[in-house]
Amino acid sequence: MAKKKITQITEELLDGFLQDEGYELYHTEFVKEGSDWFLRVYIDKAPDGSGEESWISTEDCEKVSRFLSERLDEADPIEQNYYLEVSSPGMDRPLLKPEHYLRYIGREAEIRLYRAKDGKKEIAGVLEKYENDTVTIRDEDGTEWNLETKEIARARLAVIF
């Protein structure tokens, strides 16, 4: 079965459950590492409208893992052996989808480009805007960078202590 299909099935199996429990799906991947396959599901707390961030606990991951494991056993969509991992995307969470960029406007981020732009391959700063597949980030010097998502190799939230 194709990787995309497995992630789609996984997302469908989780849809109502996550919403009912106050979680949201951040990202799903089905990847081969070495000789092993991993189905990774990253969950987050659904925004409650208060503007305060709340974090996923190990108990939250365990609850989702148990639910998903049972549903996957019933549906049996994956032919090969695999490991199921459910976790938080972490404080330095990757920005993978338009909604991720939009959710974190105003936050510090670190972006790595496939190719250097104006002599820089890594740009850190505040996410200013996301529009039409273009991310705008303002670095510490005040320079505004407009980067197409196809130029971005990796983007993540910066962890500031």
The answer regarding whether domain 3-87 maps to CATH 3.40.50.720 reads no
Q: Residue 155 in contact with residue 110, Cβ under 8 Å?
A: yes
Q: Residue 62 in contact with residue 43, Cβ under 8 Å?
A: no
Q: Where in the sequence of the chain do the CATH 2.30.30.100 domains occur?
A: 98-157
The answer regarding whether domain 98-157 maps to CATH 3.30.460.40 reads no
- Reported pTM: 0.87
The tokens describing 157, both together, are: 């939230």
Report CA Rg, the chain: 18
DSSP states along 65-132: HHHHHHHHHHH----S--EEEEE---TT-B--SHHHHHHTTTSEEEEEEEEEETTEEEEEEEEEEEET
62 phi and psi angles, rounded to 5 deg: -65, -40
Residue-by-residue pLDDT tens, the chain, 161 positions = 555 599 999 999 999 999 999 999 999 999 999 999 999 999 999 877 666 777 899 999 999 999 999 999 999 999 999 999 999 999 999 999 999 999 999 999 999 999 999 999 999 999 999 999 999 999 999 999 999 999 999 999 998 87
The tokens describing 12, both together, are: 């469908």
